[in-house]
Structure 1
Amino acid sequence: MSHLLKTGFLLGLGAAVEGKERMDKYLDEMLVKGKITPKEFDELYHELIQKGESKEKEWNYRSKERMNNLMEDLNIFTKEEYNALEARVKDLEERLNKMESASESQDNKPGTDA
């Protein structure tokens, strides 16, 4: 499964790089041919970059959502869930140790029947 995720990530990254390179080449050609001004070039370039970043955020959100659904379907817990359980176990261990220490000190007091 790790290989599949890595391959998907690299595929997406490759597509993004290829798309940006094509966009740069296309805008450069339009600028050289005089179809757009340098100001229009900058505006168009920044607009396309912003749209790309927005799309990336959307894709990341959807990917995380799909991954969470897959993990839930496979009964795999998240790191956050693991950390929460680990914290609960530590808390319970501390409480148990305190109870055992209190019980031992009570048992060791003079005049108590052990």
Structure 2
Amino acid sequence: MSDFLKKGFLIGLGATLASKEKAENFLDDLSKSGGAAAEEAKALLTTLNDKGKDSTDKWRNGLRQEVIDAIKDLGFVSQDEYTQLQEKLAVLESELSELKKTITNNEN
């Protein structure tokens, strides 16, 4: 599933970059005419670039949350939960070891 999501993200990123490249080429051609059009073209390119970054960030964050939700729905634990379980297990193993020692000492 990770590979599928990675490919989806890369396809979206590629489409975004291709669109950005086309827009830059168009605006470069427009700016070659000079004057006010050149300044407007630069401002438009900046605006489009900013909106593209915002859209990409929103899409990435949405995708991240979808993946997190899907992982939880499948019953997987988070890294934090896993670490907590490891720590609890270490404590229980230590307590069990101490109990075994106590029982062994009491039997002797």
TM-score by length of 2: 0.71
How many pairs align? 107
Q: Does 1:46 align with 2:46?
A: yes
- Equivalent position SS for 2:69: helix
Summarize deviations over 1:37-56 as a string: whole Å, max 9, x none: 2x434333332222222112
**How far 1:95 sits from its partner (Å)?**
4.7
Percent identity of paired positions between Structure 1 and Structure 2: 28
The match for 1:16 is: 16
Structure 1 residue runs of 5 or longer lacking an equivalent are: none
Q: Does 1:103 align with 2:106?
A: no
1:103–1:59 distance in 2 versus 1, CA, 3 Å: same
Moved more, 55-64 or 79-88: 79-88
Write the letter of the residue equivalent to 2:43: E
Distance 1:5 1:23 in 2: 27
Whose helix fraction is larger, Structure 1's or Structure 2's? 2
Moved more, 67-76 or 86-95: 86-95
Distance 1:10 1:78 in 2: 25
RMSD of equivalent CA atoms: 2.9
Q: How does 1:32-111 map to 2 (within 5 A)?
A: 32-34=32-34, 36-37=37-38, 39-97=39-97, 99-100=98-99, 103=102, 107=105
TM-score by length of 1: 0.68
- Equivalent position SS for 2:37: coil
Larger C-alpha radius of gyration, 1 or 2? 1
**How far 1:86 sits from its partner (Å)?**
2.3
- Equivalent position SS for 1:61: helix
Summarize deviations over 1:5-27 as a string: whole Å, max 9, x none: 23212211211211221121121
